[in-house]
């Protein structure tokens, strides 16, 4: 009896906490034990995620980025693989999946690293710190490692008007499927412009307390919103708040 009252109370709390619904198992290709996902969200739940994740960055160095950051042109990608385990093809498949959420921007492969807008370095965990030092110099690398103790990392260079010039990500490839997939899907969200984290959001891969390892309906929807032509690089939070409700209203994941 007491047990039942308690579970009823917990259920009530859960219902009040969020309205996300239509729970689905993880898609094919997810790692064994990957979490299920909700696939329907209220406008408020999508608005909350977008405003938290598309503005600011808790990994920033230097100037605080203002406004929306995203690419404004077709994106050329390059995978550089120095890892003991070859996951180049898997990473290229992931690019393809992300390409579907940016239908107006074509994501295709660059012939070499210099021509790429988005570079992923697949590395062994043991070389992570050295790779950061090579890429960003010792000071920046030390600050990152000390501040965030990261396992994977993305650096996004953008212009003052919010247009991303180049994203470089480091993804660990030699520590099993779970680490690789979690890093790859998480860092791609950063690389495309969702720069921040939200440790209290129960649906996004950009909650560092979660291990997801696939492109969820929730994150896919946030990226679709980010790459809608009515959301432009440099837009302020106020400007975004004004247009977001009408964009959210027509998303397949929005509860009508
Ligand atoms: Zn992150």
Can you tell me the distance from the alpha carbon of 215 to that of 118, in angstroms, rounded to the nearest whole number?
18
* Domain boundary residue, one of 192, 213, 245: 192
* Domain boundary residue, one of 161, 192, 223: 192
**CA 135 / ligand 1 centre spacing (Å):** 18
**CA 49 / ligand 1 centre spacing (Å):** 14
**CA 20 / ligand 1 centre spacing (Å):** 23
* Domain boundary residue, one of 151, 177, 192: 192
CATH number where 152 lies: 3.40.390
Can you tell me the distance from the alpha carbon of 27 to that of 39, in angstroms, rounded to the nearest whole number?
12
> What angle is formed at CA 104 by the lines to CA 102 and CA 108, rounded to 5 degrees?
70
pTM of this prediction?
0.89
**CA 213 / ligand 1 centre spacing (Å):** 13
Same domain, 79 and 161: yes
Question: How high does pLDDT run on average in the chain?
Answer: 88
Same domain, 156 and 199: no
Same domain, 76 and 186: yes
Same domain, 184 and 223: no
**CA 2 / ligand 1 centre spacing (Å):** 42
Instruction: Read off the pLDDT of each residue in 149-171 and give the average, rounded to a whole number.
Output: 88
Per cent of the chain over pLDDT 70 is 89
125 located within any domain: yes
What pLDDT is attached to residue 104? 80
pLDDT by residue (tens digit) across 185-225?
999 999 999 999 999 999 999 999 999 999 999 999 999 99
52-85 as b/e, with b when 16 or more CB fall inside 10 Å?
bbbbbbebeeeeebebbbbbbeebbbbbbbebee
Domain total of the chain: 2
**CA 215 / ligand 1 centre spacing (Å):** 14
- Tokens describing residue 76: 């050329």
Can you tell me the distance from the alpha carbon of 207 to that of 214, in angstroms, rounded to the nearest whole number?
13
**CA 14 / ligand 1 centre spacing (Å):** 26
Domain limits at 124? Answer: 71-192
């Amino acid at each position: 009896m007491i047990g039942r009252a308690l579970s009823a109370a917990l259920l009530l709390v859960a219902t009040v906490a969020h309205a996300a619904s239509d729970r689905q198992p993880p898609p094919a290709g997810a790692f064994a034990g990957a979490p299920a996902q909700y696939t329907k969200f209220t406008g408020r739940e999508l608005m909350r995620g977008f405003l938290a994740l598309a503005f600011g960055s808790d990994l920033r160095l230097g100037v605080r980025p203002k406004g929306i950051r995203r690419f404004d042109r077709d994106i050329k990608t390059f995978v550089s693989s120095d890892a003991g385990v070859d996951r180049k093809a898997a990473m290229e498949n992931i690019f393809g999946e992300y390409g579907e959420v940016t239908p107006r921007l074509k994501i295709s492969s660059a012939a070499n690293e210099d021509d790429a807008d988005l570079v992923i370095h697949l590395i062994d965990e043991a070389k992570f710190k050295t790779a950061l030092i090579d890429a960003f110099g010792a000071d920046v690398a030390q600050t990152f490692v000390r501040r965030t103790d990261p396992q994977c990392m993305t650096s996004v260079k953008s212009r003052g008007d919010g247009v991303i010039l180049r994203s470089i990500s480091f993804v660990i490839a030699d520590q099993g499927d779970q680490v690789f997939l979690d890093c790859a899907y998480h860092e791609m969200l950063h690389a495309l412009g969702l720069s921040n984290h939200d440790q209290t959001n129960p649906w996004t891969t950009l909650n560092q307390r979660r291990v997801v390892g696939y492109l969820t309906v929730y994150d896919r929807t946030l990226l679709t919103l980010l790459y809608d032509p009515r959301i432009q690089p440099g837009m302020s939070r106020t400007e975004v708040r004004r247009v977001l409700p009408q964009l959210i209203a027509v998303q397949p994941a929005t509860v009508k």
